[in-house]
Structures are given as C-alpha cells and as structure tokens.
Amino acid sequence: MSATRTVRLVWFVTWFNVRMLLASEFFILTTFITPLIFASLAFLLFESGGRQGGQTLMYVALGTGMMGVWSTTLFGCGGAIAWQRWEGTLELLVNAPSRYDFILAGQTMGAVVLGFYGIVATLVWGVVLFGMPLEATFPLILPLSLFAAVVSLGSLGMLIATTFVLYRHANALGNLLEYPIWLIAGLLVPIATLPVWVRPLSWLLAPTWGMEAIRGAATGTEPPLLAIAMCFGLAVVYYVLARVMLVVVLDKARRDATLALQ
Amino acid sequence: MSYGMLFNWARPSIYIPTLIGGPTFQLLFFAALGSYATDRSPAYFAIGNAVQVSALAGVFGMTMAIANERWFGTLPALLASPADRAALFAGRFLPFLLNGLLVSLYAFVLGVVFLGVRLEPAGIAAAGLALLATVFSCTAIGSLQGAISLRLRDGLFGANLIMMGVLLFCGVNVPVEELPGWMQVISNALPFTHGLAAIRQAADGAGLSQVGGLIAIEVLIGIVYALLAFGLFSFLERSARRNATLDVR
C-alpha cells in the first residue's frame, strides 16, 4: 500500500469517525459541553483562591480543554473495536485488503481531533466570560505543539482501543480512568505538587507532554521542544505496543472464532 | 427486582470501576485541585465530593430504572398492569437511595482516612440525617430525569448534565456565596445545596437544632422533585396511551 493511499485511508476514516461521533449525544456532551462546565468550575475555583491573572486563566482554559480531549479520547477509543463488533463491521474491516491498524488509527484520530475542539471552546469561553487575554509567547510553535499532541494522543487512543477490548465493559474503564489521568497528567494541578512516586507515571502519558507542549508554546518562557519530542517519541512507542496488542487480540479472536461475538 | 434488571451498572465488573473507583479518583482530583487553587483544606473538597458522588447512584440509577423500561421493551406490560403507580415508583426509589448512601459513606471513609476529614462527635447524628435528606432529594431529581427520559433518545445526556450542574452550582467545590448572583438562584432550587451546607456545619459540630432548617428545606426540595417526577410520569403514560406511542423509540 503506497504512502499516499495510506494517508488518504487514515484521513478518510478520521473524517468519517468525526461525523459518526457528532451524531452521538454522549460525545456532543463530552466534547462540546463538559469542557465548558469544568472550565467554569476551575475559573471560579481559582478566582475563589484570589488568582485571576491572564496567565492563570490561560492555564485553566488549556488545562480544562485538555481534560475534554482526554475524555473524548478515552471514551471514543476505548469502545472503538467493541462498536465495530456491535455494528457488525469488524469482520469486514479485519478481512478487507486495507490494513486494519490504519483503519483503527483513523478511527482513534477522529476521536482525538474531535476532542481538540474542547481546547478551542474553553479558550473562547475564557475570553468571552472571564476576560482572558488571548496571546501566545511562541505562536509559530503552537501549531506544531498541537499537531504533536494530536499524534501522541491518537497513538495512545489506539493502545487504549486494543487493550480495552479485552474488558467486556470498556465504558466502565472509561469512567474509572477519567479523573486519575486529569490529575497525574498535571492538566490543572502541577505535577510538582503531586507525590514523587506519581511523577514517573506522568512521564509515560501522552496528555502530560501534550499539555506541556501546548502550554509551553502559549505561556512558557522557552520553546517546548522537549515536550514536542516526547509527544512524537511516545506516539511511536504507543503505536508499536498497539500494533503488537492488535495482532495478539485479532489472532486470539480468529482462533477462538469470537471476532464477531459481542 | 427493578434494581437488578434495569440498573445497567448492578454487576461487579461495572459497579466497582464506576461507583467505587470513579468516586475515589474524583475525591482525590478535587482535593488536589481545590487545595492548590484556593487556601482551603483538602477536607473541604473531600466532604463536598463525598456527598456529590451519591448522585452517581441516585441520578444515573433512577434514570436507568425508569427509562430502561422503555428500552428493554417492558414498559407496555408494566403500564398495562393494574399495579399502583405510586408503589411502582417507590419500589424503584428505595434501592437507589440506599445505593447512593452506600457510595457516599464509602467516599466519606476515604476522606477521613486519606484527606483529613474530621467529624465532630456532636454533629454526627445531624450529619447522617442531612446526608439521608440529600441523597433522597438527589434520587428524586434522578426520578424526574428518568421520567423525562421516557421521551428522549438518550436519557443519560440529562443525567450527566445534572451531575455536572451539581458540581458547579451546589457548593461542592466553590462555596455558594462566592458564586455569581444568578448562579446562587439556581443553587437554591437544586438538591444538594442545603443538605451539603447542613453536612458541613454538622461536621464542625452543629447539632440538629442548628441545621434542622437546612435539612427540612432539602427534604422539601426532594419532595417537590419526586412529585414533579410522578406527575410527569403519569402525564406521559396518559399521553402515550392516547397517541399510541408507548413503544416508540
């Protein structure tokens, strides 16, 4: 399969999945409404603590936006393979001439891309309701930071999709993993304030570096090159792990004849 | 029976991650965020969220208990039966009330062990009564959402909104008196606000004589929501019979 066809396939599935998710009330809530509610809550909390400066508002807006991205990634990717099973398309996709991991990559990327709307929404929310100044210290690096975050979260989404499928109730795992990642990825609470043993866990997570890359470009004093490099590095690691998991899971499903079973 | 059949989360593989794991991390998250963003102690946020997590059982549970009758195709049979509607409603109500209490008590224990929550012995009885009243009113708004869900494609959308509304409006993390005026008006009409205020005061040692008024308001709010839910359910039943839409999804 040529590189052009691969890119076209991933792009098509990404766009298709964005449209599919837009038809779901749950994802409308997770992507469009939840980040705004958490942004309001966080703005009020920081205001209550007497911290209302532009930098604080930007910190909160980006953090709550990334919380929305994580939720959409978690729920959108966690059930990705299971949904294909329910819809009866998994067997067809696995047996199609196109590589299934590219299809899954497009699907998880769709969830992540939709999730990134959350950051736009919380920024606009901050500007309109809380008078947040909209400025970035490294505006030219910001698009690269966003791209790195999307790629790393998309790869993590693939890993989530291929591991959650082993658990029958993927949504329950989603309910479990929303808050802890918000916490240990330092989206609203700096990692430095968490116990020391938590920090290595934070370093393994794409949201940590994605947030660092975006915040660094928006409010940092130096270009967030390390964070951007970590996003791409982690994306490769996640993709390799996801690919291995996918081969194991699909092989097991074929051997046990459970590919289409719910 | 309705609890086991209609509550999708009533199995360990979902119950434990959602109603034990979820609240655990919610408490830790808001305790860390709140104490970082403000000067308040983690215990303040632990108490607020320990009460709020009862909504997972009360709001989501009641929504499922009513709306799932339609999705599972049992609503026509249920409504064709001569069973007393008030008894049907109460039968659905009680297990979720107990479940909400259980989730909330678990979260309180977590707060006491890990987040520095301290309850003055003099206020424990009042705090317990206020918690019961709060979980009751929370289950009542859940039953209203359940009744509304009989007409919606996805009832859990509204249940999620209620959950987040409570987090934002009811003094769970930000004291009600620090919210903008228009938000305080909404706060006073929602469950949790008065009950949670009573629990916070009782935790500091206030007795029933001091927080009785708040508990009474919380119970009253719960009764209003329960009556609205029952009225809406009855109205939708009549409307569905008249328009032959009982089983339309």
**Confidence band (pLDDT; 50, 70, 90) for B195?**
very high
Q: What residues of A are in the B interface, CB distance below 8 Å? A: 25-26, 28-29, 33-34, 37-38, 40-42, 44-49, 51, 167-169, 171-173, 175-176, 178-180, 182-183, 188-190, 193-194
Residue pair B118/B44 in contact by the 8 Å Cβ criterion: no
pLDDT at residue A181 above 60? Answer: yes
Tell me the range of A173-177, B5-9, B68-72 where mean pLDDT is highest: A173-177
Whole-prediction pTM value? 0.90
Question: How many Å apart are CA B69 and CA B7, to the nearest integer?
Answer: 10
pLDDT at residue B249 above 60? Answer: no
C-alpha of A182 from chain center: 11
Question: How many Å apart are CA B46 and CA B49, to the nearest integer?
Answer: 5
Which residues touch A231 (CB under 8 Å, ≥6 apart)? Answer: A148, A149, A151, A152, A206, A209, A210, A213
Burial of residue B60 (number of CB atoms within 10 Å: 0-12, 13-18, 19+): buried
pLDDT at residue A155 above 70? Answer: yes
pLDDT at A166: 75
Question: How many Å apart are CA B124 and CA B185, to the nearest integer?
Answer: 29
How far is residue B205 from each of residues A111, B32, B125, B212, measured CA to CA in Å?
49, 25, 10, 13
- B224 token code pair: 């209003």
Number of Cβ within a 10 Å radius of residue A8: 11
Residue pair B200/B116 in contact by the 8 Å Cβ criterion: no
CB within 8 Å: A41 and B167: yes
Question: How many Å apart are CA A76 and CA A17, to the nearest integer?
Answer: 9
The nearest CA of chain A is from the CA of B70 a distance in Å of 18
Residue pair A59/A140 in contact by the 8 Å Cβ criterion: no
Picking from A44, A46, A166, A199 by the largest number of B CB atoms within 10 A of its own CB, the best residue to mutate is A44
The lowest-confidence range among A153-167, B49-63, B112-126 is: A153-167
C-alpha of B195 from chain center: 11
The nearest CA of chain B is from the CA of A6 a distance in Å of 36
Counting one residue from chain A and one from chain B, the pairs whose CB atoms sit within 8 A come to 96
B72 touches chain A (CB under 8 A): no
- B137 token code pair: 């009113």
Q: Please calculate the CA angle B227-B233-B237 and round it to the nearest 5 degrees.
A: 145
Residue pair A100/A249 in contact by the 8 Å Cβ criterion: no
SS3 B244: coil
At how many degrees (to 10) do helices A117-130 and A100-115 cross?
A: 0
Number of Cβ within a 10 Å radius of residue B5: 13
The lowest-confidence range among A73-77, B111-115, B195-199 is: A73-77
B2-37 confidence digits (pLDDT tens): 666 666 676 788 888 888 899 999 999 999 999 999
Q: What is the mean pLDDT of residues A233-245?
A: 95
Q: What are phi and psi of A165, to 5 degrees?
A: -65, -20
SS3 B2: helix
A71-111 confidence digits (pLDDT tens): 998 988 888 887 888 888 888 888 888 888 899 889 999 99
pLDDT at B5: 64
CB within 8 Å: B21 and A176: yes
pLDDT at residue A248 above 80? Answer: yes
- A13 token code pair: 């599935």
Question: How many Å apart are CA A164 and CA B211, to the nearest integer?
Answer: 47
B167 touches chain A (CB under 8 A): yes
Residue pair A242/A250 in contact by the 8 Å Cβ criterion: no
Question: How many Å apart are CA A111 and CA A69, to the nearest integer?
Answer: 9
Q: What are phi and psi of A33, to 5 degrees?
A: -105, -45
pLDDT at residue A119 above 90? Answer: no
A17-34 confidence digits (pLDDT tens): 999 999 888 888 888 899
Burial of residue B162 (number of CB atoms within 10 Å: 0-12, 13-18, 19+): buried
Nearest Cα to A212, choosing from A226, A200, A201?
Answer: A226
Question: How many Å apart are CA A235 and CA A229, to the nearest integer?
Answer: 10
Q: What is the mean pLDDT of residues B38-64?
A: 92
Question: How many Å apart are CA B37 and CA A48, to the nearest integer?
Answer: 8
Domains of chain B, by residue range, sit at 2-243
